[in-house]
Every structure is written in structure tokens, then in C-alpha cells.
Amino acid sequence: QVQLVESGGGLVQAGGSLRLSCAASGRTFSSYAMGWFRQAPGKEREFVAAINWSGWSTSYEDSVKGRFTISRNNAKNTVYLQMNSLKPEDAAVYYCAAANSGEITAIMKNGVDYWGKGTLVTVSS
């Protein structure tokens, strides 16, 4: 069983930056693919970014490409989402996700095995 705890959410002005963190329990973190999803009020949860077990492969939703960066530190059992140039439409609850499969396709194609409880990001215009 893996527990995921997100942090780093908050209120930021449009154009600003935030860095989300997700701390994972367990000794096999380095074998998991990790990802971030978000859900805005009244909308379905959507994929944001994913990173494979080694950190060498990443994928992003089109609207965040060039603005968001996902990374991981396997020694710290933590995955990050650096969010720059934030827009009001980025406001949502952001969820951390983990997949037993180490590859990003598992994150992107309904293969998530574990979810965090989310952290709220608010972007003021």
C-alpha cells in the first residue's frame, strides 16, 4: 500500500508560480510511475503530467506544456510539479497519482493504482 500526501497548493496571482510536492510512503517509490491530475469545480478530473520510474520520460497535457515541469527525487520519495506562468484556468484541486507499472502510459491510460487527497490551487486574475 502506498500513501501519497500532496502539499504546496495555495493562492497565487496570474503569472505567478507554485511548486507542488507529493511525498510517498513505501520503499518501492523508485519503481512507480508518478503523475499529477487536476479537477476544477464542475469538471472531470484531467491528466496534467506524468513521469516514469527513472525520471527520464515525461508527458504533459497540451495546455501546460512549456509552463509546468514534473520531476522526482527517488531518494526522497517525492515527486514535484513546478507550475509557472499560472493562469486562472489552472485553478483546481491537484492530485498526485502513482502506478505500479513504472511507465507513464499507466498514468495516462487509467492505470493509476494510488491517489492522494489533493491540494487546492487558486489563481487570481
Query: Is the pLDDT confidence value at 27 over 80?
Result: no
Give me the pLDDT at residue 26, please: 79
Grid coordinates given for 110? 487509467
User: For 45-60, what is the mean pLDDT?
Assistant: 97
Query: Is the pLDDT confidence value at 109 over 90?
Result: no
Those residues with Cβ within 8 angstroms of residue 37's Cβ, 6 or more apart along the chain or in another chain:
45, 46, 47, 48, 94, 95, 97
* Burial environment of residue 100 by CB neighbours within 10 A (0 to 12, 13 to 18, 19 or more): middle
